[in-house]
Amino acid sequence: MSESFDAVDIIRTKRDRGELSSEEIAWVVDAYTREVVADEQMSALAMAILLNGMNRREIGDWTAAMIASGERMDFSSLSRPTADKHSTGGVGDKITLPLAPLVAACGVAVPQLSGRGLGHTGGTLDKLEAVPGWRASLSNAEILDQLEDVGAVICAAGSGLAPADKRLYSLRDVTGTVEAIPLIASSIMSKKIAEGTGVLVLDVKVGSGAFMKTEPDARELAETMVALGQDAGVHTVALLTDMSTPLGLTAGNGLEVRESVEVLAGGGPQDVVDLTLALAREMLQGAGVEDVDPADALRDGRAMDVWRRMIAAQGGDPDAALPTAAETHQVVADRDGVLTELDALAVGVAAWRLGAGRARKEDPVQAAAGVELHAKPGDRVRAGEPVMTLHTDTPERFERALAALEGGWSVGDTAPGRPDVVIDRIA
């Protein structure tokens, strides 16, 4: 079959800071999915996009082409509105676990299609697989049934959603083009729009442990994604949130599940509670549910009830003991004082090296590995007392984890100011 365009011409256009037409974008994404455009050609185009950018129309067309490469889900048959949340990833970011059942307990269905971790950022599916028996893969029919019955589902996205993005994501990972904001935004939003939710709240992290290290970059990404969602008819809001220090007191799979259950039981670290409630209120407001305070559903046990039903519906045992690591190692303060710094990236890399994360998508993870924090910046510590505990089944990993933490935390005399977990709202 003859092709409408030539990949080399499209690469040259973007290389020379030109604007790609809607037809060129639709063709190149489709042709890449059909393997007519080769990996090396798409790599060159991705680099040209990284260096020269895209305007809003181009990014919208690229996103639409990604969506058109696969199927779209439809939740219109459900008896309640739908809302979803996407986080750009961070250290200790277990928010999806308490958030989905909390929002469901307030009357809005949550179809949370999630992924696995890569590098220092943990994946929601990896965390939940620490629960004995829980399964991540559901059919579309199972997703719909669970949403109607339970109100919340956290599962793997099917291969039919935006398959072009799956190919391009793998390519970007090995060609130094992951950071291209047009490609990040279209990657996230193509899957979320194809998912079919009516409301989308974006948690865009900024700080050392985040993908976006600076607030201007995070803001640009958030504004781009909000525009894509609104253009597609999805009520979209973004919160810029702090990821300079880890979220909560745990980084690791089973450790984060335990902490999430504490939040659902009405306890847990204040920053995790605050962010969970902030995102829940945005999701409920977007879905038109404004007379319900999600804090009440944490206090009275309704969110916990939905959590238990959600876990059980996917084969998990909500009463089963979570795995514990075979070995632990305490990192202690060398002086009395105040914890003045706790770098999110250092803690994330340490958890990754302990076995909580993976370097390649096919690598296994340890359910019990990770870092448990005993203090956060501003807390007083005493010489010889633990600041954190490292968990792993393979003690030979301790040395490299400790190396990752060197220079990543410090004790001083003056308490630092604690930034608010929510930096700004973009709508």
Of the residues 172, 235, 281, 302, which is catalytic? 172
> What is the structure's pLDDT at 361?
67
Examine the residue annotation and report whether 165 is marked as an active-site residue of this protein. yes
Q: Mean pLDDT over residues 55-60, rounded? A: 95
* Residue 64's pLDDT band (cuts 50, 70, 90): very high
CB 360 within 8 A of CB 293: no
In CATH terms, the superfamily for domain 7-68 is Transferase, Pyrimidine Nucleoside Phosphorylase; Chain C (1.20.970.10)
In which residue are the tokens 């889900």 written? 73
Question: Whole-prediction pTM value?
Answer: 0.93
Q: How many CB atoms lie within 10 A of CB 271?
A: 21
Angle at CA of residue 93, ends 328 and 363, nearest 5°? 65
Q: Mean pLDDT across the stretch 217-225?
A: 95
Active site (annotated) includes residue 391: no
14, 85, 86, 235: the catalytic one is 86
Q: How many CB atoms lie within 10 A of CB 383?
A: 11
**Listed range (154-163, 241-250, 340-349, 373-382) with the worst mean pLDDT:** 154-163
Summarised one tens digit per residue, pLDDT across range 375-413 is 999 999 999 999 999 999 999 999 999 999 999 999 999
pLDDT of residue 115: 80
Active site residue 192: no
pLDDT of the residue at 354: 96
Sorting pLDDT into bands at 50, 70 and 90, what band is 118? low
Predicted confidence (pLDDT) per residue in 268-283, tens digit = 999 999 999 999 999 9
Is 235 considered catalytic here?
Answer: no
User: What does the alpha-carbon distance between residue 42 and residue 54 come to, in Å, rounded to a whole number?
Assistant: 15
Q: Which residues are bridge partners to 409 per DSSP? A: 342
Q: Which two tokens stand for residue 170?
A: 């793998």
Cβ within 8 Å of residue 130, ≥6 positions away: 253, 254, 257, 322, 323, 367, 368
For residue 391, the cross-strand partners are 328, 370
pLDDT tens-digit series, residues 140-196: 999 999 999 999 999 998 778 888 988 898 888 788 888 899 999 999 999 999 999
Mean pLDDT score of the chain, rounded to an integer? 94
- Decide if 314 contacts 124 (C-beta within 8 A): no
Determine which helix (DSSP H) or strand (DSSP E) holds 341, and give its type and residue range.
strand 337-342
Burial of 173 (0-12, 13-18, 19+ CB in 10 A): middle
At 114 the three-state DSSP class reads strand
> Would you state the pLDDT for residue 2?
79
Q: Is the pLDDT of residue 53 over 70?
A: yes
The domains of the chain are located at 7-68, 83-159+172-313, 327-412
Cα(201)–Cα(189) distance, integer angstroms: 11
Give the pLDDT of residue 421: 95
pLDDT score of 369 more than 80? yes
| Average pLDDT over every residue of 14-37 | 96
Nearest CA to 86 among 242, 260, 243, 203?
203
The one catalytic residue among 87, 187, 244, 260: 187
Query: How are beta strands 110-114 and 199-206 bridged, if at all?
Result: unpaired
- For residues 193 and 234, the answer to whether their CB atoms sit within 8 Å is yes
Is 236:229 a contact under the CB 8 Å cutoff?
Answer: yes
Q: By percentage, how much of the chain surpasses pLDDT 90?
A: 86
Is the domain 83-159+172-313 a CATH 3.40.1030.10 member?
yes
What would the mean pLDDT of 350-362 be, rounded to a whole number? 86
What pLDDT score does 57 carry?
Answer: 95
Helix axes 253-264, 270-286, angle to 10 degrees: 70
Across the range 341-349, mean pLDDT stands at 96
Residue 363's pLDDT is 78
Angle between helices 181-195 and 39-52 (to 10 degrees): 110
Q: Which among 94, 116, 120, 191 is annotated as catalytic?
A: 191
Q: What is the mean pLDDT of residues 48-73?
A: 95
**CA nearest to 234, candidates 196, 202, 283:** 196
Residue 259 clears pLDDT 80, i.e. is over it? yes
How far is residue 269's CA from residue 138's CA, in Å, rounded to a whole number? Answer: 31
User: What number is the average pLDDT over the span 64-69?
Assistant: 94
Q: Given 84, 165, 271, 343, which residue is catalytic?
A: 165
Q: Is 187 a catalytic residue?
A: yes
Query: What is 138-156 written as a DSSP string?
Result: --HHHHHHHHHHTSEEEEE
What integer pLDDT is reported at residue 93 of this predicted model?
95
Classify domain 327-412 at the CATH topology level.
Aldehyde Oxidoreductase; domain 3 (3.90.1170)
